[in-house]
Structure 1
Amino acid sequence: MGLFGIGPCVANALSSRLTAEVRREGVRWMQEYERGVALAPPGAAGPAIGAGTTIAFRPDDTVFGPAQCEFDVLAECFRTLAFLNRGLDITLTDEGAPGGPRVARFRFPGGVRDFVGALGVRSGAPFRSDVLGFEREVPRMAGTIEVALQWCDSREEDVRGFTNSLATGTGTHEAGLREGVAAAIDAYARARGLQTAADCIGEGLTAVVSVTLDDRDFVDFARREPGGDAVRACVAQAVREYLGAWFEAHPEQAAAVITPVLRAAARN
């Protein structure tokens, strides 16, 4: 799609009408499409302030039938995108809502740390640790890793993985996170003459691991599993190193995290 990139292609193919606007270098460029076909080449439509892209479209009723967007569904999607892209500002407006426009704005300066904090509040369980996290650029996997974790008084585990802002099922990066957590807890416990059980590591853990791959090297794009063993190993190493250092620097919270793990291992 040239000036407008490949991002709108799917929306364009499923729309009865789509208008793309790009503001770049002081010029506002526009192009209109009807059922995926450009009505004219991109054209300058006047001066622009700032930079950005605006896509407006109507779902094609020959594909979807009568279509109606659900505000709450869109809000949850945009909230997640804002968590995963620190500093991104998203505003959702329903101009046809009864009683006047309904507006929701999403912006999370803390990124995935804010995400984990929100998930922890939803769980309602008392916390055993602060929200901790890190971001690391890893040339070996041609991308970046962002991780946040928190433990609470619960036997449940809530681990969520994302690749290039897309939710995954059981991706290799999620496996790497669990391996890294298990290795850090096991090393800390063994250094004190204790033993843990890997199958108990996740009790009470809330975590988000977000991987951004520059070359989008997916093993299985349909399942959105990134980069195979290299990504798994990189995530595991990064988590193990960060969490191991954090345990050493915060012995009281480390004990609050590891003691229930030891109890769970004893139960099993």
Structure 2
Amino acid sequence: MEYDAARIEVLEGREAVRKRPGMWVGSVTERGLHQLVFEVVGRAVNEVSATGAGRVDVTLTSDGGVRVADDGPGVAFEAPAAGDADGPGLEALLTSMCAGSEPSGRRLVGVGQFGAGLFVANALSSRLTAEVRREGVRRAQEFARGVALAPPCAAGPATGSGTTVAFWPDAGIFETTECSFAVLAERFRQVAFLNRGLEISLTDERPAGGARVVRFRFPDGVRDFVAALDAEAGASLHPDVIGFEREDPRMAGTMELAFLWSGTRWNGSRAERVRGFANSLATPEGGTHVDGFRDGVAAAVTTYARKRGLPAAVEVDPGSVADRIGEGLTAVVSVKLDRPEFLGATRGLLGNPEVRACVGEAVRECLDGWFEEHPERAAEVVDRIVRSAQD
């Protein structure tokens, strides 16, 4: 059989997405369906986060659709003027892959793992409607399998501002169009922890017995996250959460960290619970932000132990201390970067080299101060870590 250029089939735009949906959302199973929801929610979260705080409401409708509404400034359908920093218009985001998958801005929040954006959600939906409330006017547009049925049109007056996107995943593509309330709720809870000031709700209108609703907002951000993780592990009797937030231009981003040590006499467990996030995406393989956290803790522990003359610290190697800091430790290490560099397609490992030194320095300074302010607790934690490092 001969194979030449004439046999090559070029797929572009929505046809490419519908032909190989797994390339864009991971799979056509329930997992891919949830990624589709996360992509639409991600745009809304970034829209309201740009104003400092806001609200996103997600609804699973009784007819199998998903409605995502935000109270942001509203994304105009039309493309902005040349040089405008607001990025492409909503119609372009829905119909063109080249328009970009997210609204422009710094340190974008990732809700979906793939960053595919509204274009992919539109292409993989049998129907999608978009509504914008902006400058006192409500405008709407409807699509079928990624194709606009008509231009955007005025749909009446509007109170307030915001954007609403409702879509119905294509049953001809996905194995199921039934979203899991529990899976979505857990991810939205996580995003709310990692973005202080954000309020996000999930409403399920499908149950015959009536709608169920959960709402998440955490004023203390990752401090609340660590406290919740510790409580879930049954270790809530020692609530000394250490935390800080800092911007560092050297890494072109911010860091927000919280952590605590739970003694074995409180929960009977020495298990480590260290969770890393980059731009709100979980990094289960770690990366430079988690390495920096360990470096900073190890440096502070070693310095304090030697300063206090703890016998166990005389011959200890700081490297072995870094390996043992996790016993009884619960921590959340969250960084938000202008240009996150992930190693691998799944974004599970952060690679920005400058992040390690920045986080390590900040953690050491924070922990140095905490040790001085809490000498009894410091002695307990440091002695346990250093003695463990000698074993």
What's the TM-score, normalizing by structure 2? Answer: 0.64
Given that 2:294 and 2:322 are in contact with CA atoms closer than 8 Å, whether structure 1 keeps it comes out as: no
List gaps (5 residues or longer) in structure 2. 1-76, 78-87, 94-100, 102-116, 264-268
Instruction: Say yes or no: does 1:222 pair with 2:332.
Output: no
Sequence identity percentage = 62
Supply the AA of the counterpart residue of 2:89. L
**Once the two structures are superposed, what CA deviation does each residue of 1:63-89 show, in whole Å capped at 9, x if it has no partner?**
212321111111101110110111211
Matched residues in 1 for 2:351 and 2:326: separation?
24
Matched residues in 2 for 1:25 and 1:218: separation?
39
Given that 1:113 and 1:131 are in contact with CA atoms closer than 8 Å, whether structure 2 keeps it comes out as: yes
Structure 1 residue 121 displacement after superposition: 0.1
Structure 1 residue 31 displacement after superposition: 2.5
Match of 1:95 in 2: 205
Matched residues in 1 for 2:200 and 2:157: separation?
24
- 1:184 corresponds to which of 274, 286, 300: 300
Supply the AA of the counterpart residue of 1:206. T
List gaps (5 residues or longer) in structure 1. none
- Name which of structure 1's ranges 79-88 and 195-204 shifts more when overlaid on structure 2: 195-204
Supply the AA of the counterpart residue of 1:166. L
**Once the two structures are superposed, what CA deviation does each residue of 1:107-141 show, in whole Å capped at 9, x if it has no partner?**
11111110000000011136556112111111111
Matched residues in 2 for 1:81 and 1:215: separation?
19
Matched residues in 1 for 2:349 and 2:328: separation?
25
Match of 1:35 in 2: 145
Give RMSD over aligned pairs: 2.1
Instruction: Say yes or no: does 1:159 pair with 2:159.
Output: no
Aligned residues: 267
- 2:326 corresponds to which of 202, 206, 212: 202
Matched residues in 2 for 1:200 and 1:19: separation?
53
Match of 2:178 in 1: 68
Structure 1 pair 16–202 and aligned structure 2 pair: CA distance change class (3 A) = same
Match of 2:376 in 1: 252
- 2:290 corresponds to which of 140, 152, 174: 174
Matched residues in 1 for 2:209 and 2:169: separation?
25
Matched residues in 1 for 2:368 and 2:134: separation?
46
Matched residues in 2 for 1:23 and 1:256: separation?
56
Matched residues in 1 for 2:204 and 2:366: separation?
42
Matched residues in 2 for 1:198 and 1:252: separation?
22
Matched residues in 2 for 1:245 and 1:135: separation?
15
Structure 1 pair 215–24 and aligned structure 2 pair: CA distance change class (3 A) = farther
Match of 1:23 in 2: 133
Match of 1:193 in 2: 309
Supply the AA of the counterpart residue of 1:178. R
Structure 1 pair 192–23 and aligned structure 2 pair: CA distance change class (3 A) = same
- 1:10 corresponds to which of 114, 120, 137: 120
SS at match of 1:62: coil
Supply the AA of the counterpart residue of 1:264. S
Given that 1:129 and 1:256 are in contact with CA atoms closer than 8 Å, whether structure 2 keeps it comes out as: no
Structure 1 pair 59–87 and aligned structure 2 pair: CA distance change class (3 A) = same
**Once the two structures are superposed, what CA deviation does each residue of 1:38-68 show, in whole Å capped at 9, x if it has no partner?**
3233333333222322221111112212321
Matched residues in 1 for 2:184 and 2:214: separation?
10
Structure 1 pair 120–30 and aligned structure 2 pair: CA distance change class (3 A) = same
Matched residues in 2 for 1:252 and 1:42: separation?
65
Matched residues in 2 for 1:14 and 1:143: separation?
34
Structure 1 residue 220 displacement after superposition: 4.1
Matched residues in 2 for 1:44 and 1:159: separation?
50
What's the TM-score, normalizing by structure 1? Answer: 0.91
Matched residues in 1 for 2:159 and 2:242: separation?
39
Given that 2:227 and 2:239 are in contact with CA atoms closer than 8 Å, whether structure 1 keeps it comes out as: no
